């Protein structure tokens, strides 16, 4: 499904001609500047013009095994070609400097490349070496000491004999990682650790790329020295022979089977039987084990969880991309599809002219744009806190953990919901594999669970919020992202609807945190332990954290909008203003129950906001196609019969149907074997 030079559908031509914004200006801003936009386009052409990267058939027609083998072949060609690209040009942002040095920024850029438009275009069921880059390397980088980094990092970066993954989750435990059972016993005599899987539930289960692809893992295991327990530590273990790729002695490894999506990732299981590794393969930036078996505690035990924080920060960006791919497909489809006259004798309108259709699609576009603003903020914030940590200041870590957890949860959950709503907004055709919602949804919904399950992460944020609430009662200084809790004044409804709505969302969050805190106190008074009280307040706590995330997203969008409007062309600034308003009002209206519970707002004021919201949908309507064009998703990135730039939806639907292997022969063999005997009463 290339962007072919054929004629563009008349409706799309008209939409583009009538828009008041320039897609190209938007694209430039969205990409972070002209140079980056050009660079990204050149990189995409470099891959998309290469016939080696065309799939021989639609992946929905491949078996599980076929898809894996095809993806690995393509994945390795991808890396080779990317290296070639970088030899030809100086390394640039977005391609991850595969031939250059390695730092966390490079890994960030590489991650955005493989989870972003180019990566999802080439690997609709995810990149088959994903975990090597997304978790194995960041863990070596952040948890190895200087010696270990010298020994492993450069080699791992160039995949010189090393393909790694991050093996934490077990069959019995994913969330509660202190409950992991894999053991690493230190043998001081040989200066080795001995790894074992003591039970079925102790099997590592889920790590990506682990089934057949990886030959090394960072494994999280419980450290024991002379029988004494020292908690979880990371160990570097070779699981397959570097030359033959046969499992090493004592290693039981395999693939866990087909999933809802991301089937190229080859998630695996792994058991250890007396597997020995040298002492210097415990990653020791933090805690250390000396040759004689002395355990030296690290300055910051929570660094062990550092890779998870890094990945959570990036997930906000990942799911934003998926949501906007789906929104682009649905917008273009709705601009070409015509159905159901509005006036009895009028021609059928573009379905995008039904206001309810606008209400399905535009809030998702707006949401994606606001998530992007939050993702950029979060990445800057992460870098700042990491610099502070390196300098020995850990003050900002709890706020980073709290913010990344609730944003990861809420952005993932709402993107999942949004992608599904966009699929439904395409009617029946949205259900076809050739529309590509299945792959987009499959990737986005995995992120709801991995790297910390939705509710579990909200509860992490809630712990922080409740503690901060107590601090606010004691008039202590609060971190920036929750400073709004200090303001205990009631909402004063002014003419500025946007400011009203943002403040109302903050009041909801602050009130819900207070209620959660009160419930914990009540349960404590009833004699419950602190932990049981937290469990019994779990619904209040988790919904308070989600409310906090929404309040943050709204406030951040408003703040960023103000900054942007100083630098952008007025018509673009104006459309971004519409989108921020749509996002905030949509959030407000979806939370109306809570909003009314915690704010004194009259019915007429809600009506005023509803009317403004509906007006905004209509105001945004003329720019909808131009705006999604500005995300600059190549047709290969959307991979959809419904979303192509030229709008030839019906031609493509039919072309794809005809390519279906079932249509290769006029009569399928099942007729003679089964249907005919049935009809002749011979079964």
Active site residues: 451
Q: How far apart are the first and last CA of the chain?
A: 44
- Member of 314, 397, 459, 502 binding ligand FAD (CB under 6 A): 459
Query: 302 is in the binding site of which of ligand GRA, ligand FAD, none (Cβ under 5 to 8 A by kind)?
Result: ligand GRA
CA geometry: angle at 518 spanning 517 and 521, to 5°?
90
Between 313 and 329, name the residue whose CB sits nearer to ligand GRA.
313
Strands (E), 262-311: 268-272, 275-278, 288-289, 295-296
Between 264 and 336, name the residue whose CB sits nearer to ligand FAD.
264
Q: Any contact of residue 117 with ligand FAD (CB under 6 A)?
A: no
Q: Has 161 been labeled as part of a binding site?
A: no
Residues 294-353 that bind ligand GRA (CB under 6 A): 302, 305, 308-309, 311
Q: Any contact of residue 399 with ligand GRA (CB under 6 A)?
A: no
Between 307 and 429, name the residue whose CB sits nearer to ligand FAD.
307
Q: Would you state the structure tokens that stand for residue 327, as one six-digit string? A: 């929104």
Q: Which residue is nearest to ligand GRA (CB)?
A: 305
- Member of 20, 63, 175, 199 binding ligand GRA (CB under 6 A): 175
- Member of 47, 127, 157, 166 binding ligand FAD (CB under 6 A): 166
Give, as one character, the DSSP assignment of residue 393: -
Query: 267 is in the binding site of which of ligand FAD, ligand GRA, none (Cβ under 5 to 8 A by kind)?
Result: ligand FAD
Query: 455 is in the binding site of which of ligand FAD, ligand GRA, none (Cβ under 5 to 8 A by kind)?
Result: ligand FAD
Q: Would you state the structure tokens that stand for residue 379, as one six-digit string? A: 């990445």
CB 203 within 8 A of CB 197: yes
Query: Residue 186 — φ and ψ, nearest 5°?
Result: -85, 130
- Member of 397, 446, 504, 549 binding ligand FAD (CB under 6 A): 446
Write each residue from 191 to 230 as x if it is in contact with ligand FAD (CB under 6 A), else as -, in one continuous string: ---------------xxx----------------------
H or E element at residue 653: helix 649-659
Can you tell me which residue has the tokens 């906090």?
548
CA–CA gap between residue 568 and residue 593 (Å, rounded): 36
Sign of CA dihedral 179, 181, 184, 185: positive
Q: Which residues, including other chains, have CB under 8 Å from residue 157's CB and lie 6 or more apart? A: 98, 102, 137
CA–CA gap between residue 627 and residue 647 (Å, rounded): 15
Note every long-range contact of 510-515, with CB atoms under 8 Å and residues 24 or more positions apart, other chains counting.
510/469, 510/484, 510/485, 511/597, 511/598, 512/540, 512/543, 512/544, 512/547, 512/594, 512/598, 513/462, 513/465, 513/466, 513/468, 513/469, 513/485, 513/544, 513/548, 514/469, 515/540, 515/544
CA–CA gap between residue 484 and residue 333 (Å, rounded): 41
- Member of 96, 117, 164, 174 binding ligand FAD (CB under 6 A): 174
Between 115 and 591, name the residue whose CB sits nearer to ligand GRA.
115
Query: 463 is in the binding site of which of ligand FAD, ligand GRA, none (Cβ under 5 to 8 A by kind)?
Result: ligand GRA
Q: Would you state the structure tokens that stand for residue 285, as one six-digit string? A: 């930036």
Can you tell me which residue has the tokens 């493989």?
114
Q: Which residues, including other chains, have CB under 8 Å from residue 239's CB and lie 6 or more apart? A: 210, 214, 215, 216, 217, 247, 248, 251, 253, 270
Write each residue from 195 to 234 as x if it is in contact with ligand GRA (CB under 6 A), else as -, in one continuous string: -------------x--------------------------
Collapsing DSSP states into helix, strand and coil, what is residue 372?
A: helix
- Member of 165, 455, 460, 556 binding ligand GRA (CB under 6 A): 460
Q: Has 169 been labeled as part of a binding site?
A: yes
Q: Would you state the structure tokens that stand for residue 80, as one six-digit string? A: 């080779």
- Member of 124, 169, 263, 350 binding ligand GRA (CB under 6 A): 169
Write each residue from 122 to 151 as x if it is in contact with ligand FAD (CB under 6 A), else as -, in one continuous string: ---------x--------------------
Least CB distance from residue 440 to ligand GRA, whole Å? 16
Least CB distance from residue 304 to ligand GRA, whole Å? 8
Residues 108-167 that bind ligand GRA (CB under 6 A): 130, 134-135, 166
Residues contributing to the site for ligand FAD (CB under 6 A): 131, 166-169, 173-175, 206-208, 262, 267, 446, 449-453, 455-456, 459, 538
Residues contributing to the site for ligand GRA (CB under 6 A): 130, 134-135, 166, 168-169, 174-178, 208, 302, 305, 308-309, 311, 397, 401, 450-452, 456, 460, 463
Q: Detail the residues annotated as belonging to a binding site.
A: 169, 208
Q: Detail the residues annotated as belonging to a binding site for FAD.
A: 169, 208
């Amino acid at each position: 499904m290339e962007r072919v030079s054929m004629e563009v559908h008349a409706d799309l031509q008209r939409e583009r001609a009538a828009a008041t914004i320039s897609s190209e200006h938007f694209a430039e801003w969205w990409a972070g500047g002209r140079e980056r936009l050009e660079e990204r386009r050149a990189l995409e052409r470099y891959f998309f013009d290469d016939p080696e990267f065309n799939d021989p058939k639609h992946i929905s027609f491949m078996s599980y095994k076929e898809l894996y083998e095809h993806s690995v072949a393509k994945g390795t060609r991808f890396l080779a070609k990317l290296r070639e690209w970088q030899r030809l040009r100086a390394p640039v942002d977005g391609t991850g400097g595969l031939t250059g040095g390695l730092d966390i920024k490079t890994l960030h850029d590489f991650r955005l490349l493989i989870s972003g438009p180019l990566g999802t275009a080439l690997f609709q069921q995810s990149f088959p070496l994903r975990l090597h880059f997304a978790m194995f390397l960041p863990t070596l980088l952040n948890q190895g000491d200087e010696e270990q980094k010298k020994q492993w990092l450069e080699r791992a970066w160039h995949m010189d004999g090393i393909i790694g993954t991050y093996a934490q989750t077990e069959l019995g435990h994913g969330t509660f990682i202190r409950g992991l059972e894999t053991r690493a016993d230190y043998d001081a005599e040989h200066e080795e650790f001995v790894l074992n899987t003591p039970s079925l539930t102790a099997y590592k289960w889920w790590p990506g790329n682990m089934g057949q692809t990886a030959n090394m893992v960072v494994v999280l295991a419980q450290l024991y020295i002379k029988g004494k327990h020292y908690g979880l530590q990371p160990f570097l273990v070779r699981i397959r022979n570097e030359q033959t790729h046969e499992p090493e002695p004592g290693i039981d490894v395999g693939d866990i089977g087909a999933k809802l999506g991301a089937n190229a990732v080859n998630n695996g299981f792994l058991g250890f039987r007396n597997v020995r590794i040298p002492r210097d393969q415990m990653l020791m930036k933090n805690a250390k084990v000396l040759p004689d078996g002395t355990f030296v505690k690290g300055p910051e035990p929570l660094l062990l969880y550092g890779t998870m924080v890094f990945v959570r920060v990036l997930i906000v960006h990942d799911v934003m991309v998926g949501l906007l791919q789906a929104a682009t497909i649905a917008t273009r489809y709705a601009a070409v599809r015509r159905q159901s006259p509005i006036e009895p004798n009028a021609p059928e309108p573009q379905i995008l002219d039904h206001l309810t259709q606008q209400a399905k699609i535009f809030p998702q576009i707006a949401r994606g744009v606001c998530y992007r603003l939050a993702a950029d903020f979060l990445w800057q914030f992460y870098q700042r806190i990491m610099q502070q940590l390196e300098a020995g200041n850990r003050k900002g870590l709890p706020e980073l953990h709290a913010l990344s957890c609730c944003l990861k949860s809420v952005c993932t959950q709402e993107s999942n919901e949004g992608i599904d709503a966009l699929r439904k907004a395409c009617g029946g055709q949205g259900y076809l594999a050739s529309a590509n919602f299945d792959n987009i949804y499959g990737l986005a919904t995995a992120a709801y669970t991995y790297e910390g399950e939705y509710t579990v992460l909200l509860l992490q944020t809630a712990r922080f919020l409740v503690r901060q609430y107590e601090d606010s009662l004691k008039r202590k200084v609060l971190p920036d992202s929750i400073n709004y809790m200090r303001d205990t004044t009631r909402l004063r409804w002014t003419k500025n609807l946007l400011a009203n709505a943002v403040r109302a969302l903050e009041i909801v969050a602050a009130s819900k945190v207070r209620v959660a805190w009160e419930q914990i106190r009540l349960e404590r008074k009833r004699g419950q332990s602190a932990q049981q009280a937290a469990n019994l307040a779990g619904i209040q706590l988790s919904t308070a954290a989600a409310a906090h995330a929404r309040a943050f997203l709204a406030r951040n969008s408003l703040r960023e909008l103000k900054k942007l409007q100083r630098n952008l062309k007025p018509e673009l600034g104006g459309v971004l203003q519409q989108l921020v308003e749509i996002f905030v009002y949509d959030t407000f209206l979806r939370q109306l129950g809570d909003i009314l519970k915690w704010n004194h707002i009259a019915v007429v004021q809600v009506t005023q906001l509803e009317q403004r919201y509906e007006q905004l949908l209509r105001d945004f309507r003329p720019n909808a196609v131009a705006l999604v064009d500005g995300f600059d998703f190549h047709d290969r990135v959307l991979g959809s019969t419904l979303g192509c730039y030229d709008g030839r939806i019906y031609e493509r639907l039919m072309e794809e149907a005809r390519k279906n292997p079932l249509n290769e022969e006029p009569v399928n063999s099942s007729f003679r074997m089964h249907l005919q005997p049935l009809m002749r009463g011979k079964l």
